[in-house]
Amino acid sequence: MKNQYLFFALLVAFTACTSSSGTKDDRGGTILYTDTIQYHPVRVDAEGAILPWYSANLGESYDTCLLLVWNFWKNMEVDSNGLKYYMNHQVWAPHHDMRGLGGDQMAMALSSWRLLYAYTGDEELIDNMRYIADEYLARGLSNASDKWPNIPYPYNTVVHSGVYDGDMRNGKGYTQPDKAGSFGIELVNLFKM
């Protein structure tokens, strides 16, 4: 008898997990399911292919996602040392994640904003790129007497110091020349803009 109840419970659970009723959506005739990916409802086209969560219009969805990321970045809070949060941390977290920058984080931000500027023409992107470049150069170059002189360090060993002075794994005084190079090429690209 106990096995019959277990079988029945599993059958009900399996049915609940596999049968998801779709409903037509007013945005492009797509089908929305009650299932989610992360926290967005699953949207599929008539053939059952997954579509972007925002809209069946791929361009509209692309624009929306890009601009949501940019809006999040440009409105990120100022950290305890007066710098924008992303100038101190590699991960955004409401409790202020205590890891410093990720090696190529600033170079990747400059690269992304350069491409987004080419796409949107939004001058605020260039302002943000200048902010990143100015702050990073003012706070993170190795000394002229160092083995690798006058190149940016990839990491802030004391997270809220506002100083980039080493490497996340090797510590203070260690650099990564490849990261300095990728930041350098993005500075050249910014200058050309």
Q: What does the pLDDT profile of the chain (193 residues) look like in tens digits?
A: 565 554 544 444 444 444 445 555 545 556 666 778 888 888 888 888 888 888 888 899 999 999 999 999 999 999 999 999 999 999 988 888 889 998 899 999 999 999 999 999 999 999 999 999 999 999 999 999 999 999 999 999 999 999 999 999 999 999 999 999 999 999 999 999 9
Nearest CA to 102 out of 187, 191, 188, 183 is that of 183
CA–CA distance from 146 to each of 5, 120, 133, 176 (Å)? 73, 41, 22, 13
Report the predicted TM-score, pTM, of the whole model to 2 decimal places. Answer: 0.78
Nearest CA to 155 out of 111, 109, 108, 105 is that of 105
**The two three-digit tokens of residue 76, written as one number:** 């990120």
Which pLDDT belongs to residue 1? 59
Taking phi over 0 as left and psi of -120 to 50 as alpha, with beta for the rest, 43 belongs to: beta
SS3 category, 23: strand
